Amino acid sequence: VLTKKGKGYKPAEESPNKFHGTGPFDIATGKKITNPNAPVSYTEVFGKTLSKLADTDDKIVGITAAMPDGTGLNIFAEAHKDHFFDVGIAEQHAVTAAAGMAAAGMKPVAAIYSTFMQRAYDSIMHDICMQKLHVTLCLDRAGLVGDDGYTHHGVFDYAYLRSIPNMTIMAPKDENELQHMLKTALDFDGPVSVRYPRGSGVGVALDTQWQDLPIGKAEVLRTGKDVCFWAIGSMVQTALDAAELLEAQGISAGVVNMRFAKPLDVELLREHAQSYGKIITLEEGVLAGGVGSAILEELNENKLLEQCEVRCFGIPDEFVMHGDKKLLFRDLGLDTPTIAAKAAAFVKGEEE
């Protein structure tokens, strides 16, 4: 028995990789129906940035596990074919191979979907982190993935990576910050993870010169006095939008772009716990063991929970079904209007 992708439909037979998972397309031509005005995707920004960085650094190596197009490494492979390795559907091998290359002095970048990186948990722990090797794990499809479906939601990586010693975890607020984080990761010396969502970016301008970000330092985007959002990655824009809605209600909300899930910006967190007295964490990941948990642990360790109330918003303790991302966010209470309403009730002491 031979399984042939796209059998009976010529466009899919000719480009099976493009039809592995697809949105709307024209049946007659096979061309995808896309929004020409949509911002560039995180995946494309990753591929182009890594390729440009490799132009001046021959130690950079790109590795994936049968997902070169899906991760954007196809862009890197075209320009640096001798530095690209696709190991097939073998995530554990991709990660362990990256560890070996790092031990030999290379700068391996393993680009794998967040949900599939779970398969390599043991390899990350023993082969990379225990050895303190400089491997960059780039987790595409982090968060809710919409049309990719039930098994592909990448909502566990904050939790399963945060528990591993020596791991540094970053998440960009937009596609431009992804460029800077990738450079930061490659200039870093140790295990590091960069996670970003499926699909289009926020739509910001892309810098042509990149700089290293200070490790473990957050970015204050908005100051306030009633409550402060500590948001990471894709939820930063949601926090900014929610703060605008709150302002219309007379509530002053600050917004912090955490940038790092590990290490936390402990100094800023302690300051905000005392000055605001109310903090809301936002993450597109599971609450159990996630970024909100990290903040609660830190505040508890410093005996600041007596001075500061905290509410954590993220993915509840359940598997999220297939569905349109906007509808899933609405149903999970992670859409902007719901977060703003919950934040207002938190500030006013009117929570149910």
**Which of 18, 59, 119, 311 is the catalytic position?**
119
Question: Is position 161 within any domain?
Answer: yes
Indicate whether 99 pLDDT > 90: yes
Tell me, what CATH number does 322's domain have? 3.40.50.920
- For 167-178, what is each residue's pLDDT tens digit? 999 999 999 999
**Which of 5, 31, 132, 326 is the catalytic position?**
5
Query: What is the distance between the alpha carbons of residues 134 and 142, in angstroms, rounded to a whole number?
Result: 22
Query: What is the distance between the alpha carbons of residues 91 and 61, in angstroms, rounded to a whole number?
Result: 16
Q: Are residues 290 and 176 located together in one domain of the fold?
A: no
Tell me, what CATH number does 117's domain have? 3.40.50.970
Domain boundary among 162, 179, 195: 195
Question: Is position 15 within any domain?
Answer: no
Whether residue 91 lies in the annotated active site: yes
Prior bond to 68 cis, omega within 30? no
Q: Are residues 254 and 334 located together in one domain of the fold?
A: yes
Whether residue 270 lies in the annotated active site: no
Domain count, the chain: 2
Query: What does the pLDDT read at residue 5?
Result: 82
Question: Is position 335 within any domain?
Answer: yes
Rg value, the chain, Cα: 21
Structural domain that includes position 279? 219-348
Indicate whether 40 pLDDT > 80: yes
Question: Is position 200 within any domain?
Answer: no
Tell me, rounded to whole angstroms, the distance of Cα 332 from its chain centroid.
Answer: 18
Indicate whether 22 pLDDT > 80: no
pLDDT band per the 50, 70, 90 thresholds, residue 138: very high
Whether residue 14 lies in the annotated active site: no
- For 253-293, what is each residue's pLDDT tens digit? 999 999 999 999 999 999 999 999 999 999 999 999 999 99
**Which of 91, 175, 283, 298 is the catalytic position?**
91
- For 105-133, what is each residue's pLDDT tens digit? 999 999 999 999 999 999 999 999 999 99
Question: Is position 307 within any domain?
Answer: yes
Q: Are residues 191 and 229 located together in one domain of the fold?
A: no
Query: What does the pLDDT read at residue 266?
Result: 97
- E strand residue ranges, 102-243: 107-113, 136-140, 168-170, 192-195, 219-222, 227-231
Backbone φ/ψ region at 259: left (φ over 0), alpha (ψ -120 to 50), beta: left
**Which token pair is 186?**
């490659």
